[in-house]
Structure 1
Amino acid sequence: MQRNSFLGVNLNVDLAPGGRGGLERSCQARPADGIRVADPSHGVERIEARFHGNAFSPHRHDTYGLGLTLHGVQTFHYRGVERFSNAGNVIVLHPDELHDGAAGTEDGLIYRMIYLPPALISAVNGDQTGLPFVPDPVLADEEIRQALRDILYDLDEQPSDLIMDDVVMRLAAGLFRQAGALGKRLTPSARSAVLRARDLLEDRCADLVSSKALEAETGLDRYELARQFRRLMGTSPHRYLVMRRLERAKRSLAEGQGLAAAAADAGFADQAHFTRHFRKTFGITPGHWLTIRIPNTGEC
């Protein structure tokens, strides 16, 4: 398989830096549905996906989902409205916003996404402001598009620190510009408390973490912590903990561990509990995810 191709479809002409269009003409075959996940790097996830019909049931992430529609029509419900993205458009999904996903035509859908932790976006402004909210999830923003091309063009290559820093800065600038205003400022003490809570949740993601433990760690009462945590991290402490468990379970599954063992290792009560959270978060069951996942062999 050629480098930077996916299941028989050449993506170079549309994703090359400065490239515009051309992907529709390059599609000759109807490849199978699937998701290819790049190797983890810098705390972000990058994927390439191809689907026909309804792909994902309603779900939500605790990250910013930024992507490019490359082929077909990308349809999804977001904030109570059905949205449509044509090839070349930019997709912006805010953390913790419910959405689904489907191909809008029989030709199917190809897109690439990067999932950025909110802390990376807020860090561009020194963690002094809350997160930017972009009201329109479908954009024709050339500056964001070019930044996404730079980071999504080659999923086989691990981006360097300098490349990632530059792309995150450009994406954050674009999000704040599209949002039209800076978020409310966070005090240094509130920021420090949230980061301590985040670190505790990550270190103990497979354990039962109580509100009292977070209060003792941060010095904030549980309600103030919930407010400040959402402003900086884009979601609640509970959902952040569940997401870290799901990430741990996904790594175990990718390494060949069974569903029940992966669920137990990540701190879920049982396989059914794990499956419910997985479907609620990713829009598909863990078994389906394993079926459509394309192993990243480095040969693409």
Structure 2
Amino acid sequence: MMRDRRMAAGADNWVFRSSGGIDRLEARFTGVAFAPHRHDTYAIGITVAGVQTFDYRGASRHSLPGQIVVLHPDELHDGRAGDGLPFQYKTAYVAPADIQRVLDGRPLPFIKGDVSDDPGLHRVVCELLDDLDSPMEDLEREQAITDLTAALSQASGADLPTGVQNHAAVLRARDFIEANLDRAPTLADLEQAAHYDRWRLSRDFRALLGASPYRYLIFRRLDRARGMMSRGAGLAQVAQAAGFADQSHFTRHFKKTYGMTPRIWAAMHRRSRSA
């Protein structure tokens, strides 16, 4: 995919935008990338290569590979290479209204310094920007917003409030997910099934079951897929029956979870069964 992006846009300057879900992109530029401008969204990204330099809130900022950049809504900024060499980054544009749905009236989080090394924020942003080639499912998008809001709040020093988890509601949501592996449920669906506010449900679900509702859905789909593969089903058939968009979508999630492709896993399983 990277080679295709370069061929399409030239060796030095290109932009690849994801399709579906949260507005996400990966870009590479040399020299001055863009003049001063504003967004009506948060721009939250990570520098992949080079030095990303920008003027923001009266000072020049510099982001090195692995650092997180958080540009707040309606703040003037530009962008350029900081050392004369190409720089590359990934960014997600998130509407304040989406963040506010999780905050429920609390002030939007503000990251001082704009360039962050906060480990929690780094983990969430990397997960959000990891796979730009696949459109996000509705539940995946909603969960990403929830996780990002929590990470931004923590990094800004304003953690979201916690309390006693609603165990019964979490179990109702879990049962709904397990009964609907082949569809794409949303947090609104889980809210209705659990009779509990969707954003609190998302936090309680992770606290009690160790994974977000979306990750739980993926784990259960992968369990179904491994069962079918162990019985000799083909990968295309498995991907469709387990609820994935296509075989490549299935393969990416399988490798991310188990560290190997489903084809290798199936071959190892056959060898083990024969032995």
TM-score grouping bracket, smaller chain normalisation: 0.5 to 0.7
Q: Which amino acid aligns with 1:81?
A: A
SS in structure 2 of the partner of residue 107 of structure 1: coil
The answer to whether 1:79 aligns with 2:57 is yes
Q: Distance in 2 between matches of 1:130 and 1:120?
A: 13
Q: Distance in 2 between matches of 1:143 and 1:163?
A: 18
- 1:98-247 equivalences under 5 Å are 98-126=76-104, 128-181=105-158
Deviations 1:241-261 (A, max 9, x none): xxxxxxxxxxxxxxxxxxxxx
Judged with a 3 Å threshold, the aligned counterparts in structure 2 of structure 1 residues 34 and 181 are, in CA distance, closer, same or farther, namely same
- Matched with 2:17 is 37
State the 1:120 CA deviation. Answer: 1.0
Q: Which structure dedicates a bigger proportion of its chain to helix?
A: 2
Contact preservation (8 Å) 1:144, 1:170: no
Judged with a 3 Å threshold, the aligned counterparts in structure 2 of structure 1 residues 2 and 101 are, in CA distance, closer, same or farther, namely closer
State the 1:82 CA deviation. Answer: 0.3
State the 1:72 CA deviation. Answer: 0.3
User: With structure 2 as the length reference, what TM-score do the two structures score?
Assistant: 0.54
Judged with a 3 Å threshold, the aligned counterparts in structure 2 of structure 1 residues 132 and 2 are, in CA distance, closer, same or farther, namely closer
Q: Distance in 2 between matches of 1:35 and 1:78?
A: 22
Structure 1 gaps of 5+ residues are: 9-29, 184-297
Q: CA RMSD in A?
A: 2.3
State the 1:181 CA deviation. Answer: 3.4
**Structure with the greater alpha carbon radius of gyration:** 2
Deviations 1:39-66 (A, max 9, x none): 142xx31111100011111111000000
Q: Distance in 2 between matches of 1:179 and 1:154?
A: 26
Q: Distance in 2 between matches of 1:119 and 1:34?
A: 30
Contact preservation (8 Å) 1:47, 1:113: yes
SS in structure 2 of the partner of residue 177 of structure 1: helix
- Matched with 1:218 is none
Q: Distance in 1 between matches of 2:103 and 2:12?
A: 42
SS in structure 1 of the partner of residue 90 of structure 2: strand
Structure 2 gaps of 5+ residues are: 161-247, 249-275
Q: Distance in 2 between matches of 1:86 and 1:174?
A: 20
Judged with a 3 Å threshold, the aligned counterparts in structure 2 of structure 1 residues 145 and 181 are, in CA distance, closer, same or farther, namely closer
SS in structure 2 of the partner of residue 154 of structure 1: coil
Q: Distance in 2 between matches of 1:144 and 1:179?
A: 10
Contact preservation (8 Å) 1:129, 1:182: no
Higher RCO, 1 vs 2 (CA within 8 Å, ≥6 residues apart): 1
Q: Distance in 2 between matches of 1:86 and 1:6?
A: 22
Deviations 1:124-182 (A, max 9, x none): 122x2221121221001222222122221121101122222222112111211222237
User: With structure 1 as the length reference, what TM-score do the two structures score?
Assistant: 0.49
State the 1:6 CA deviation. Answer: 4.4
